[in-house]
Amino acid sequence: MTEDTETLDVLLIEDNPGDAKLIEHHLRGDSAQALAEEVELTHVESLESGLAALEEATYSLLFLDLGLPESSGIETLERVDDAVDATPIVVLTGLDDTETALAAIQQGAQDYLPKGEVDSQTLWRSLRYALERHRQELQLRRRTEQLEFFSGILRHDVKNGIDVIQRNASVLESELSDEHANRAGTIVDWSDNIAELTAKVQQMIQGITQGDKRELESVDISGVIADQVDTVEGMDKDVTIDTSVPFGLTVRADEMLDEVVHNLLTNAVEHNDADEPRVTVDVSVDDGIVELDVRDNGPGLPDTERTYLSGRDIQADESNHSGFGLHFVRTMVTSYGGTIAVSDNEPRGTAITIELTEA
Residues 252 and 303 in one domain: yes
Residues 106 and 195 in one domain: no
Looking at residue 117, its pLDDT comes to 82
List, in sequence order, the alpha helices (H) in the chain.
17-27, 30-34, 47-56, 74-83, 98-107, 120-153, 159-175, 178-210, 221-233, 257-270, 303-310, 321-335
153 neighbors 134 (Cβ within 8 angstroms): no
Residues 228 and 330 in one domain: yes
Looking at residue 316, its pLDDT comes to 47
Residues 261 and 300 in one domain: yes
Q: How far is CA 234 from CA 175, 224, 230, 240, 266, in A?
A: 30, 16, 6, 11, 11
Looking at residue 350, its pLDDT comes to 92
Residues 252 and 333 in one domain: yes
Strand partners, 242: 280
Residues 227 and 350 in one domain: yes
Residues 221 and 352 in one domain: yes
Structural domains counted in the chain: 3
Looking at residue 119, its pLDDT comes to 84
Residues 333 and 229 in one domain: yes
24 within some domain: yes
Residues 6+ apart with CB under 8 A from 293: 280, 281, 282, 283, 284, 351, 352, 353, 354
334 neighbors 274 (Cβ within 8 angstroms): no
**Tens-level pLDDT at each residue, the chain (359 residues):** 444 556 788 999 999 899 999 888 888 766 555 554 678 889 999 989 999 998 888 898 999 988 888 877 888 888 888 777 778 999 888 777 778 788 888 888 888 888 888 888 888 888 888 888 888 888 877 777 777 777 777 777 888 888 889 899 999 999 998 899 999 999 998 888 888 878 877 777 777 777 666 788 999 999 999 999 998 888 777 889 999 999 999 999 998 899 899 989 988 888 888 888 899 999 999 999 999 999 999 988 877 777 767 655 555 444 444 567 788 888 889 889 999 999 999 889 999 999 999 99
292 within some domain: yes
169 neighbors 187 (Cβ within 8 angstroms): yes
Residues 193 and 224 in one domain: no
Which of 87, 92, 80 minimizes the C-alpha distance to 131?
A: 87
CA distance linking residue 263 with residue 329, whole number of Å: 7
228 within some domain: yes
Residues 160 and 28 in one domain: no
Residues 307 and 177 in one domain: no
Looking at residue 139, its pLDDT comes to 80
Q: How far is CA 214 from CA 63, 81, 208, 209, 339, in A?
A: 33, 24, 9, 9, 16
**SS3 at position 267:** helix
269 neighbors 240 (Cβ within 8 angstroms): no
Looking at residue 29, its pLDDT comes to 66
DSSP secondary structure letters along 122-147: HHHHHHHHHHHHHHHHHHHHHHHHHH
Looking at residue 285, its pLDDT comes to 94
Residues 56 and 149 in one domain: no
Domain encompassing residue 167: 141-212
76 neighbors 47 (Cβ within 8 angstroms): yes
